[in-house]
Each structure stands twice: as C-alpha cells, then as structure tokens.
Structure 1
C-alpha cells in the first residue's frame, strides 16, 4: 500500500510539472500558426506564381513540407489544449474538496483558456492546410499543363 501511494504521488508530481511546458508549447504553436498564416498569404500572392514556372520535383517537396507543418499544428494544437485542460483540473478538484474555491477558480480558468487556444490553433492550422491543398492542386495542374505543352 505504501508503494501504491508513493507511486501515485510521483505520478501526480510529474503531471503537475507538465503544465508549464504544455502552456509554453501551446504558445509556440499559436505563434507558429500565425506565422504559417502570414506565410500562406505571402505564398498565394508571390511564391506560387513563381513556382508554376519551376520544376515539378521541387514543387512536390515544397508543397509536402508546407502541408506537413500545417497538419502537425492542426493535430497538436487541440492535443496540447486538452492536456492544458486536464492537468490543472486535478489540483482544482482537490482544492474543491478542501473548500478552497480560489485555487479551483484559477485551475478552471487555466483549463478553459488552454482549451480555447488549442482549438484556435487547430482550427486555423486546419483551414490553412485545406486552402493550401487547393492552391497546390491548382498550381500542380498549371505546372503539368505547361510541362505537357513544352
């Protein structure tokens, strides 16, 4: 029974240590998503027109890297948001049991804020990925028309 309690204490401590790295990763994911949004807008107005005249092999690798980044952000944002939701709920519910509503309120605020940010990252990255896929398909078709005509 002592090992069981000791193990749960260690597990709880490790999970508690994860909160700040998760919040930092969520902030980084939000910044990367905003960066990708700006990159996508610049790409639409400048880069894709130049790429249409380039090599097909170069474009394929370029498009794959860009789409992988958007897909990674679309999946990791909600995961980080969920982690940021669940981690503070343990201490929050524990505080509720002891009647400390201030700790519970703080834990719930962190939980809801990280959920919203995670979902925002996921939504924006998903939209960026979908729009980019359409742009890349249009560019690919134009490149193959040019390549077939030459």
Structure 2
C-alpha cells in the first residue's frame, strides 16, 4: 500500500516538474539575453558598473546585494539537473514494467519523452552556469574597484 502511494505521488509530480523545467529553460534564455545586453554595455563603456554604493549603505550591504543578483543563476545551474533527473526517473518505472510485460514499443515512447526532460534540464543548467560565472566575475571586479575607492577615500 505504501509503495502504491509513493508511485501515485511520483506520477502526480511529473507535470509540475515538467512545467518547472520549461520555466527554467525560458528563464535561462531570458537571462542569456540580459547578460548579453550587459556585456554589450560593458564593452561600449569600460567604466560601466551595475553596483552603486548608495548613501547610508555600507560595503557589506553592497556585497549582499551582489549575492542576491547572483543567486537565481546559481540556483538555476544547481537545481535544474535534479529536476531533470526526477523528470526522467518518474516515467522509467512504468516503462520498465511495460518492457517486462512485452510492450517494448510503448516503453520506447516513454523513454524518449523521459530523456527529453533531462536534455532540457541540462541545457538550462549549462546556460545558467555560464551566465553565473560571467556575472560573478563582473560583480567581483566591481566590488574590488569600490573597495579600493573606499580605502583611498579614508
């Protein structure tokens, strides 16, 4: 009874996970556009900075702001592969049962759909990791410039 409950719960999770994967892929593409635009701005203006020390703000608050800007890309690159694995594993149980009962063609259809989810997840994660690395490097360089400027002003 417990196993049947787990199987049913897993089947219910498939649709929301596939929706999350589609959203993650769309978000990865959207962020790629945002980072490409930021790269263009940085190339056109070498003094470009997306971080600004507002009056009354200390350096630690600015560091926290930079981390907040990076966190969605970090999560995208780390969580999306797990969702892809879940999207792959849920249909595999019934597909293997189909193979065992002699319904190989139906199982092949399930396998191809299961692998499509993991491919989409890995693509989104790869895009997210590249964007995270670029943006992290830019923000750390900006923080270094601001820290040096603050040290020179003291």
Q: TM-score, normalised by structure 1?
A: 0.84
1:72-121 deviation per Cα after TM superposition (whole angstroms, max 9, x unaligned)? 00111100110011001001001111111232012111221111111111
Instruction: Tell me the C-alpha RMSD between the 2 structures.
Output: 2.0
* Cα pair distance change 1:136/1:50, threshold 3 Å: closer
1:73-88 mapped onto 2 (5 Å cutoff):
73-88=76-91
Report if aligned partners of 2:49, 2:142 keep a CA contact under 8 Å in 1: no
- Does residue 134 (structure 1) correspond to residue 134 (structure 2)? The answer is no
1:1-150 mapped onto 2 (5 Å cutoff):
6-46=1-41, 49-51=48-50, 54-55=52-53, 56=59, 59-150=62-153
TM-fit CA distance, 1:34: 1.3
3-state secondary structure, aligned to 1:18 = helix
CA distance in 1, matches of 2:17, 2:84: 8
Unaligned runs of 5+ in 1: 1-5
Q: TM-score, normalised by structure 2?
A: 0.82
Report if aligned partners of 2:24, 2:80 keep a CA contact under 8 Å in 1: yes
TM-fit CA distance, 1:61: 3.4
3-state secondary structure, aligned to 1:49 = coil
Unaligned runs of 5+ in 2: 54-58
Report if aligned partners of 1:51, 1:59 keep a CA contact under 8 Å in 2: no
Runs of 4+ in structure 1 deviating by more than 6 angstroms, as ranges, are none
TM-fit CA distance, 1:140: 1.4
